[in-house]
Structure 1
Amino acid sequence: MKNFLRQSWSAVLVGAMALSVHAQAQTEDFRVGFVSTDRIFRESNAAKAAQAKLEQEFSKREKELTDIGTALKTASDKFEREAPTLAESQRATRQKQLVDQDRDFQRKRREFQEDLNSRKNEELQQVLEKANRVIRQVAETEKYDAVLQEAVYINPKHDITDKVIKALNAAAPGAK
């Protein structure tokens, strides 16, 4: 999702730069602002609430996976210690059981990661939508002609991220 956003904003950046050059030629009142999406995702209350929601939603499954992994490691260590004294048939049976358990564990861990990533993308998308609304409000209120979310370099005097985070944090938590 981040790469998609960066690619999208790169195209917007090129257009904004062209617009900026054109506008600069026409007037000196052209105002550009910059917002760090990464900082919004790290510092805003909406992003922190989304992170807490995800942790609550996935903590039980994460603990279960940790417990399964610990049990599998213990069983594997026990097998390694006992393998030399086991009969060939017992050794093969236990080794097959461990391989099956490990395969199941890897599958569960992969499913967990996919579910977590999917939900994280959903939550971050909601935060981004709220942030974009706030960015538009700040831009309209303070008469910005363009606000960029990605750039190679921005003069810090054009960075309005703090204003956006403050406005986003002031917005009602459930507001859409």
Structure 2
Amino acid sequence: MKKAKKYLILTLPLLFSGCSLSLQSAKNLFNSSNNTNTISIKKEYEPQKSEIAKALLSQYHEWKGVKYRYGGNSKNGIDCSAFIQRTFKSKLNVKIPRTTYYQSRVGKKVSKKEAKVGDLVFFKTGKNSRHVGIYLDDGRFIHVSRKKGVIISTLDNVYFKKHFWKIQRVLEN
């Protein structure tokens, strides 16, 4: 019983840390006869991001925090549709229209369940206003917020849940 408690105490932090260490690896780690104070952990699995995801995250890091400006198209200020157009052109070498209205008509409509990295996510934010972002994964998307500039948000956010409109697939990935 003491051994089980010790094992549980030693493995709980690993289970909740989000690392990719398997339970079997944890058992092997703590049952080893390693007499040194340092322990080497080999990651068994680390998911690889797609090239599209890497390109989008690169764009995010280059533009993170750049403020929103209606009609803007530079790091002095940019609006959502300009950011989408610029990202697709510079990172994916894909030409898409400049405005949210025309961007919403490119590609084919897909469900939230079918969303893939690079899909365009649209929101109806007013009677005649629309907002667009680029889907990353796990309900996350990159976009230009009016308050926070270029950021990553989630579709589960109360505001975005309420205003969600549709997802368009532009890329065949």
Please report the TM-score for the alignment, with normalisation by the length of structure 1. 0.24
User: Which is helix-richer, 1 or 2?
Assistant: 1
More strand by share: 2
TM-score normalised per structure 2: 0.24
Task: State the structure with more CA Rg.
Answer: 1
